[in-house]
Structure 1
Amino acid sequence: MIHQSNVLLDHFKINDWVIDCKRLTATRAQKLVRLEPKAALILQYMAARPGEIITREELFSAFWPNQVVTEDALNRVISALRKALNDSSTEPQYIATIRKSGYRLVADVKLTSPPRRSPKARWIFSLIFMLSCLVFFAILKLDDSILAQSAIPKLNGEFQRLTHSHQLKVMPHLSEDASQLAYIERDHSANTLVLMSVKSGDKLRFKKNNIAFSFPVPAPRLHTAFAIANLLGDPKSYTISLIDFDKRKVKPIFQLESESNGLSYHAQSNTMAFTQRTQHIVNHKVFLFNPLLASSTVLSSPPKGYSDSHPVFSPAGKEVAFIRTKSPTEHAIFTVSLDGNETQRTPYQNSITGLDWYNHSELIFTNEQGVYLLSGSGVHTQLFSPVSDQYVATPQVASKAGQLLLTFQHANSIGKAIDLTVGPTTYSLTLSNGSDSEFAISPDATRMLFASTRLGKKTLWLRYNNQLSSLGDVHFDEIYDLAWSSNSQLLAAAVKKNNQYGTLIFNIATHKWDVHWQQHFPLHVIGWDKNNRIWHSSLKNGTWELSHSLPAQNIETWQPKISVYQARFTPDKKRLFYIDAVHQALWEWDFTGAPQKIALPYSMTLNRNWDIDSSGVYFISKEGALNYFNTNDRSIKQLIDTQNAFTPIHRPQLRLYGLIGTQQVVSYNDFWLSNLP
């Protein structure tokens, strides 16, 4: 061993493999293998202590701190490393398993110098790397006008890791010259605003216990940033503020009418784009703000029930790109000029996790499948596909430096339950390296069904008599709104596949399922009434309409006078509580008279994040805390104040004396930088 023990090496050699932890590669002879980020970090950790036994407990503590994960999480990483290095668990040449203890790196470790390549060699390496490791795009047939706009950018595979902490890091914003990075660090109770020097890695942190920050943007003056600031406890105190890290001051610039779903700053014109909603309306619009004039104007005009988020200025500041949402499973990219002319740039799709401008006409965006270039004519080309179990999001283009920042993350979701008669403690229902969600326990409490990606695709799973099994070959793009019949014999769920929606019916007695497919409009399953009819809400002709049907009949009965977006039955099935897609209100209907409106507190936002009992509403906040709204006295009680106790994007359900929901568990989350040509 020719290197100092306990020193983390970025470049080293184990036997005949050359490891580059910065580029996430392993090279032997002419063979190059890409390493998963988590695998590269664990190999780097073991290479600092060659020959030593490193316990499983130490590895879990170092790489999954304060996370609920199964033994499979580490098993999968070690298996991936052995596969990459062509190693064997029975006759190990690199990583040996020490029974009932941990692992030992048995290969020789030697320090190597960072690779230095001529421009030609670097170009050849990058091309090979892209073709063999990043699973890049096949060149699409583009017409001459598209090719004339710009060359398609190619990520060269040489990713530089910018952050190395275990905290959850969100909302990154890279300055145009790639010199500064602003982002939010979250813990269980609060968040911290961070301003980082990309070159040195030095970080300035700003935290106030009574202020929550979101969507930070580096400001022109040194050691300052813009951000949305909210005075905790005051739901109407949202402001665009200037944060001075040296003076430790927060200076409000503009008072907002509500929370915001994005902030962008254009330095040349000194203008800002942000979103907000107006009083009693739940949908966000994009606004333009001029600090010199201290005034704002509306830019976007979403249809009723649609909402806009994540505004981003074009390089010239003449357009703003944003994400428009019409339902939890329908998102599209739009652009709007400063005079309000909108253009839809993509079809609606399951998810869009971030976007930024690549140049004056083209955009880069991310979704569940990877990173894409969106041309001015609407053609999208895949630039990068993440490895299995990896999630990539929040692209940030530094146009002046020609660099792209991405968030690489490994996250899964698990089932969580709380006994409301005991206290705020939650209990795990599932432990998986996949993503489990949308949990539903039968009324007789004998069975639990949920959606999961354990087999690589979204599938229904059943737990019965402590046995867990998937429901055959039931694969869909989305599975949500699981609802049991009163006799615990039938389950209904909303499903989506190839942009078509339907209602799935699963029969417990026969163990068979069937899907009643509808058109391409979004669909929500509400539940079963006391007559064993399934109730739905569907987006038709721009309006969410209410209907019900019997499983044996393919005939819908519509309630055209009532617009219902999300709804829940009371436990006795005698009333229906619902929200529409527009107003900040809850409605109560007894199926005979006119629905009665219940005003909601300004801080209370309902979407899929709620369920009801006979007296009120249990709802999950945007931060993941659990609350209870009493419909009689209009009071709100916080039941769990821990952030990320549950995720608000999945529907929770009351059952017996408890509530079950979904929790997102992030085991790896860091920012990486790559060059663009």
Structure 2
Amino acid sequence: MAVQYWVGEFFVDLSRNQVTQKEQSQTIAPKALAVLTYLAENQGRVVSYDELFAKVWPDTIVTPNTLQRSIAQLRKVLGQDTNLQSYIKTHAKQGYSLECDVKWHDEAKPETAVATGKDLAIADSSAENEVSNTHVSTETDAADKAQPPRYSFKLIIAVVGIVILAIIGFSYLTPTQSLKLSFGELRSLTATDNKEHSAIYSPDGEYFVFLRYSEEFCNSSNLWAKNIKTQQETQLTKNMGRYGSHSFSKDGKKLVFIKTENCNKPMTQKDCYKLMTLDFEKALAAPQSPNLLMECKNSRITKATWLNNNNIALLQEFANRWKLTSYSIADNKSTVIYELEDGNFVDYDYSATDDLIALTSIHNDGLHYIEIIKPDGQVLSSHPIEYPPEIANFRNIYPNFTPTSELLIFSTGRQLFTLSYDGKITNISLPLDEPMGSPIFHPDGKRALVIKGNWDSDIATISLSQITKSQSAKAQSTQTQADQSLTRENNSDSNPAPIIPVPTILERSTLAEDNAIYQPKGELIAFKSTRFGDNQIWITHGNGAQQLSNFPMDSSINGMNWAADGQSILVNVNNSLTQATLDSSQKSFPFDHRIEQLFHWDSEDNTALLLVRIKGVLKFGEFNLHNSEFRVITDKKVNWALKSEDGRLIYTDQLDRFWQPGPAEDRLIESLESQGSDKRFIIKNNVIYGINEEFQLWSYDLNEDTFETLGNIPNNVDSLTDINQSDILLTLRITAKKEVAELTLRD
């Protein structure tokens, strides 16, 4: 089959996945181009849906939406009115047909292989003119035979000229020449002891609005605004809350955001989500209470964004899949803008200027895509993201629009990249000394807001005896006050303050230390740290730490476990498994899917409990490191999971309830009904240890089915990471230094 052909006035080059018209080339997804090619091969004939599926997606199960998106993309590229269907015609309940002329070019003829559609048209025109001229008269034919050919030299000159013009044109049209961003100054805009987050500019560019978190209540914040000219800060919300990212209405008069609260009667999730609005103009005069628009008790919503049509876009999760929905304030009704039946969304951004939505997603082929759609759901383009060596293949990308046409921007931490609409990534070459988020541009397009800073946490230990003693002391104090209250008429203040043991800090820096675990059959403690800027595995004897790994910049670590012999550590780094030995050698275990969390590693059986994202959907299961087979254990949402020494699996769901597999169905551990939290749990000698939401350490004996509250712990504990015969290891939250900063584009 030829690799080049014409569809009407459009030149199709299969070798480059491009469609060109009047020197304007567009890159098309290979599958969409395969649909067009098969329709072209059957020009004028109605090709059924099943025939297209069999030809383009052989041995693959796909949904009708997949084909519809390909047709929508082709129609967009061909510039046709979908109501007229002038190129690709829909035949209801039958299929599609290509209703235009198709001209094929044989790949074996080099004289017809040209750089662009325009070049090909010129060459075709020259050839046709030459043929017509040589048949004007027999006398001219005879004269031409007797003389050197006049047209050969002219044709050579024309072809050479075309090649030169093509080279010059290519140099100007190459995206890397024009699709570049260069930043100059980086300056801080806020400087407090609190954590600032989620900053955006107002539509008029006079303010930026951000969340300011309290150090005392780390999950609660107030909404603030800062005047860029006067530097005056104004608190916008009257009371603190768990507020999400916010967005301005088109006229800049209102803000919309999501507030998260604990559900009074949780059924499918612990948190309820409320869509709120705030009158920005009134809040500048005095703090306001936000108004409720909509509440979700059985589904999650995130990233509220005000659209130009006055609807509000949301990512809403149903049954472990995200959908892009639109909420109408006027009708108090939500509709689905876009969804993937066999995939999932990662993130989206909205450009009010272009009225476009950019979506990053994972499709059924396991690849990450960038899709550009309209607010009505029309897909304009869909392309796999081409990951460069600097970025791990499974890494999620969270891009924002830029002032440069068809170009997005995102951060991986200490590096910034651009992402084009056709999936190409380019490094901006701006190495940073601390992590920052993806920039959000000012309306003037000359500067951008970023959130930069670091999380600071320490590795600490508390002896079990110290915790149990504090519990005994509290019990004695409670009894004493109870006895004294018998002689008092008013005992409203009789509850004693909890006695909190003081932790011992094992490892600390000004950055994050986390996930400390004891070495089996040894004295070492392994932990992860960002103390030198990047996430690495460290080991310590308690009197100095040593770096064990050397992972690339902006690496992420989500789970690590010692081998039973204490000589190596299995790490989930950059969403893939790596085994690091004490001599710093490494071994990778290939897997075709993104690993979100490593929970547990049985080094003797060489199996691991993992949370894996398959086609964008989270699956909890067991991975065999010998043969790379993955077995799904449950479709429930799993927060944390471990195995006991005798092989019993324990996991918590999204309601922080504890479950244990049974012969017919999973069994709820009722004794732990209200003891779950986000602080994780550990198992030692068939005993579960955990921390409840009251910051109490507890234990549950799996063999005896007995529960015991051991004592109180500090309320800045971020997670419980390990335990031995005498001590527990904890991660203590110290500070989260995040601030709003501004990047300025170079001229």
TM band (smaller chain): 0.5 to 0.7
Check 1:590–1:429 CA distance in 2 against 1; reply closer, same or farther (3 A cut): same
RMSD over aligned Cα atoms: 4.8
Q: Distance in 2 between matches of 1:506 and 1:216?
A: 45
Structure 2 match to 1:611: 681
Structure 1 match to 2:516: 439
Structure 1 match to 2:155: none
- Pairwise CA distance, 1:170: 0.5
Conserved 8 A contact 1:354-1:365: yes
Check 1:358–1:478 CA distance in 2 against 1; reply closer, same or farther (3 A cut): same
- Pairwise CA distance, 1:338: 2.9
**TM alignment of 1:126-165, pairs within 5 A:** 145=173, 147=175, 152-155=180-183, 157-159=184-186, 161-165=188-192
- Pairwise CA distance, 1:391: 1.8
**TM alignment of 1:227-238, pairs within 5 A:** 227-231=257-261, 234=264, 235-236=271-272, 238=274
Structure 1 match to 2:333: 295
For residues 190-242 of structure 1, give each alpha carbon's deviation from its aligned partner in whole angstroms, at most 9, with x where no partner exists.
31210222222222204555633221334567775322224567532522222
Amino acid at match of 1:270: N
Structure 2 match to 1:178: 205
- Pairwise CA distance, 1:153: 3.6
Q: Could you say what secondary structure the match of 1:391 adopts?
A: coil
1:397 aligned onto 2:441: yes
1:383 aligns with one of 412, 421, 428: 428
For residues 321-340 of structure 1, give each alpha carbon's deviation from its aligned partner in whole angstroms, at most 9, with x where no partner exists.
345589xxx98755443344
Structure 2 match to 1:518: 590
For residues 48-76 of structure 1, give each alpha carbon's deviation from its aligned partner in whole angstroms, at most 9, with x where no partner exists.
xxxxxxxxxxxxxxxxxxxxxxxxxxxxx
- Pairwise CA distance, 1:533: 4.4
TM-score, normalised with respect to structure 2: 0.56
Structure 1 match to 2:293: 253
1:274 aligns with one of 314, 329, 338: 314
Structure 1 match to 2:488: none
Amino acid at match of 2:439: P
Structure 1 match to 2:453: 409
Check 1:646–1:394 CA distance in 2 against 1; reply closer, same or farther (3 A cut): farther
Amino acid at match of 1:299: I
1:315 aligned onto 2:352: yes
Q: Could you say what secondary structure the match of 1:646 adopts?
A: strand
Conserved 8 A contact 2:195-2:737: no
Q: Which has the larger radius of gyration?
A: 2
1:546 aligned onto 2:586: no
Q: Distance in 2 between matches of 1:324 and 1:625?
A: 38
Q: Distance in 2 between matches of 1:602 and 1:241?
A: 33
Structure 2 match to 1:672: 742
Check 1:221–1:301 CA distance in 2 against 1; reply closer, same or farther (3 A cut): closer
Conserved 8 A contact 1:585-1:598: no
Structure 1 match to 2:38: none
Q: Distance in 1 between matches of 2:697 and 2:252?
A: 40
Conserved 8 A contact 2:689-2:698: yes
Conserved 8 A contact 2:210-2:224: yes
**TM alignment of 1:57-136, pairs within 5 A:** none
- Pairwise CA distance, 1:556: 5.6
- Structure with the larger strand share: 1
- Pairwise CA distance, 1:449: 0.5
For residues 448-506 of structure 1, give each alpha carbon's deviation from its aligned partner in whole angstroms, at most 9, with x where no partner exists.
102234456543321125242233767794444222345x6344322446x8x334153
Unaligned runs of 5+ in 1: 1-140
Q: Distance in 1 between matches of 2:180 and 2:631?
A: 50
For residues 24-83 of structure 1, give each alpha carbon's deviation from its aligned partner in whole angstroms, at most 9, with x where no partner exists.
xxxxxxxxxxxxxxxxxxxxxxxxxxxxxxxxxxxxxxxxxxxxxxxxxxxxxxxxxxxx
1:489 aligns with one of 566, 577, 592: 566
Q: Distance in 2 between matches of 1:440 and 1:604?
A: 21
Q: Could you say what secondary structure the match of 2:439 adopts?
A: strand
Structure 2 match to 1:371: 416
Conserved 8 A contact 2:697-2:713: yes
Structure 1 match to 2:581: 506
Check 1:349–1:531 CA distance in 2 against 1; reply closer, same or farther (3 A cut): closer
Q: Distance in 2 between matches of 1:184 and 1:619?
A: 29
Check 1:465–1:289 CA distance in 2 against 1; reply closer, same or farther (3 A cut): closer
Check 1:261–1:603 CA distance in 2 against 1; reply closer, same or farther (3 A cut): farther
Check 1:204–1:668 CA distance in 2 against 1; reply closer, same or farther (3 A cut): closer
Unaligned runs of 5+ in 2: 1-168, 265-270, 388-392, 471-499
Amino acid at match of 1:319: L
Check 1:594–1:587 CA distance in 2 against 1; reply closer, same or farther (3 A cut): farther
Conserved 8 A contact 1:547-1:559: yes
1:578 aligns with one of 629, 647, 651: 651
Check 1:562–1:179 CA distance in 2 against 1; reply closer, same or farther (3 A cut): same
Query: How many matched pairs?
Result: 509
- Pairwise CA distance, 1:183: 0.7
Conserved 8 A contact 1:345-1:378: yes
For residues 398-437 of structure 1, give each alpha carbon's deviation from its aligned partner in whole angstroms, at most 9, with x where no partner exists.
2345432223324455434566725476553312245433
Check 1:260–1:367 CA distance in 2 against 1; reply closer, same or farther (3 A cut): same
Check 1:369–1:440 CA distance in 2 against 1; reply closer, same or farther (3 A cut): same
Structure 2 match to 1:127: none
For residues 149-195 of structure 1, give each alpha carbon's deviation from its aligned partner in whole angstroms, at most 9, with x where no partner exists.
9653433x244543232321001111233212111001121312102
Amino acid at match of 2:440: Q
1:263 aligned onto 2:340: no
Check 1:574–1:668 CA distance in 2 against 1; reply closer, same or farther (3 A cut): closer
Q: Distance in 1 between matches of 2:586 and 2:528?
A: 16
Q: Could you say what secondary structure the match of 1:269 adopts?
A: coil
1:470 aligns with one of 547, 554, 567: 547
Conserved 8 A contact 1:491-1:505: yes
Q: Distance in 2 between matches of 1:637 and 1:270?
A: 54
For residues 89-136 of structure 1, give each alpha carbon's deviation from its aligned partner in whole angstroms, at most 9, with x where no partner exists.
xxxxxxxxxxxxxxxxxxxxxxxxxxxxxxxxxxxxxxxxxxxxxxxx
Q: Distance in 1 between matches of 2:710 and 2:403?
A: 46
Amino acid at match of 1:163: T
Check 1:519–1:618 CA distance in 2 against 1; reply closer, same or farther (3 A cut): same
Q: Distance in 2 between matches of 1:414 and 1:504?
A: 25
TM-score, normalised with respect to structure 1: 0.62
Amino acid at match of 2:507: T
Structure 1 match to 2:105: none
Conserved 8 A contact 1:212-1:231: yes
Q: Could you say what secondary structure the match of 1:313 adopts?
A: strand
- Structure with the larger helix share: 2
Conserved 8 A contact 1:358-1:364: no
Q: Distance in 2 between matches of 1:626 and 1:675?
A: 50
Check 1:332–1:584 CA distance in 2 against 1; reply closer, same or farther (3 A cut): farther
